[in-house]
Amino acid sequence: MKRNLLRLSCLALALLLLTGCGSAGAAPKSLTADLKTHTPGLQPITEAQAGTLTAFSLELLRENWTGNNVLVSPLSVLSALGMTANGAGGETLAQMESVLGLPLEELNETLASWTAALPQEKDCRVDLANSLWLRDDENFTASQDFLQTVTDWYGAEVFPSKFDNGAIQDINGWVEQNTHGMIPEIIREIPDGAVLYLINALALEAEWESIYKETQVHENRVFTTEDGREQPVTLMYSDEGFYLEDDHAQGFLKLYKGGQWAFAALLPEEGLRLEDYAASLTGERLYGILSDAQETLVYAAIPKFQCEYGAELSDSLKALGITDAFDWNTADFAAMGSSPNGPLYISKVLHKTYISVDEKGTKAGAATAVEMDRGGTAPGMVPTVYLDRPFLYLLVDLETGLPAFIGAVTTME
């Protein structure tokens, strides 16, 4: 059946596109009021679109696989790169569309549709915010058409900035506020050549539909790693109502309040390495597993865990096929604006994530910063899925089937 695939507890996404900030002290002045915001007509997300974006989610996970715990937010990265792509042209845009999976206009509409439907209930709330920070001097002139486009489709606020010492504080403060404190810092310095930051921040905090009782939480259980090490873990046991499976894994959905989002887990069969199982998945297959959840009793156990992850994604994105954007000789971001000191190009893509899973629910946060510089089971039996060895998990919107987070737990250390 097709339900909302996961109730995301706390998701934060920050995209810094070209480098830029405001001065410390008073809150930065927004130029958004100077732009006439238009509300585009939106269409429901199709299965084909969801499958395509799920495929990107898997590729992003695989490119950042190190053997340790990993967590990436495709929603964060897609939103960041989606805004960036609106300033791209030529082969640069073609490569970005190919990797992200959708033509630019379709990507804009898909992300806007998803954003418009994010839950806003007290016990399951997803807050998403976008902003642009422009270097406020002769070194950069932003295209008004570009600003209008990202304002229309992404609801971005626009902040001029002197890019002085207070700018780092302003940008990090904006990210921290809009990720509910989960991502307190996304940048530590602003390069001299930076002229613009595009930032998307998303925060989700959600309670389980059925909060664990004290009798369901058991300490001093064992989590066994793939190399046979036994690690102490606290497991939370429950009876769930949605079972996931394919030829090589079992799993379940644990719903958050409201039923629109869920925690989805997939446990590979004994003897199959988690990395190999993840490598075998396609976007269409993963989307099918999640959307075809069986309404049946599942005995489940989830470990209490926290994970913080950070990576610079430039190499990952180059490996996926976005190459021209990172080379000032080939990058085409003329539609974004201009600098007298050389063409714009992406110098860094920073990504940070955080997740906490406990008895009450889930909190997850993510921030993605694109820094741009100038040139230079058996029938009749109740399935049992205890996550006491390495597993794959997703925070999924069951309405669309789209994962906002995808991660792997390989160790409890």
Q: Decide: 408 and 81 in contact? Cβ < 8 Å.
A: no
pLDDT above 80 (res 378): no
CA-CA distance, 228 to 131, in Å (whole number)?
46
Q: What is the pLDDT of residue 21?
A: 31
Task: List, for residues 318-363, the tens digit of each pLDDT value.
Answer: 999 999 999 999 999 999 998 888 899 998 888 989 999 999 999 9
Lowest-confidence segment of 103-107, 163-167, 238-242 by average pLDDT: 163-167
Mean pLDDT of 80-101: 97
- pLDDT category of residue 18 using cuts at 50, 70 and 90: very low
**DSSP single-letter state for residue 44:** P
Cross-strand pairs, 72: 406
For the entire predicted model, the pTM comes to 0.89
* Confidence at residue 41, expressed as pLDDT on a 0 to 100 scale: 77
Q: Is the pLDDT of residue 37 over 70?
A: no
What's the DSSP call for residue 34?
Answer: G
Q: Around 117, how many Cα atoms within 13 Å sit in the side-chain half-sphere?
A: 20
Instruction: Return the DSSP state at 96.
Output: H
Q: Indicate the length of the chain as a whole number.
A: 413
The closest alpha carbon to 393, from 286, 291, 272, 247, belongs to 286
Beta strand pairing call for 261-268 and 249-255: antiparallel
User: What is the share, in percent, of the chain residues with pLDDT greater than 70?
Assistant: 89
Distances (CA, A) of 177 to 43, 180, 200, 201, 410: 30, 5, 12, 9, 31
Is residue 31 over pLDDT 80? no
User: What domains are there in the chain, each with its CATH number?
Assistant: 32-207+307-374 (3.30.497.10), 214-305+379-409 (2.30.39.10)
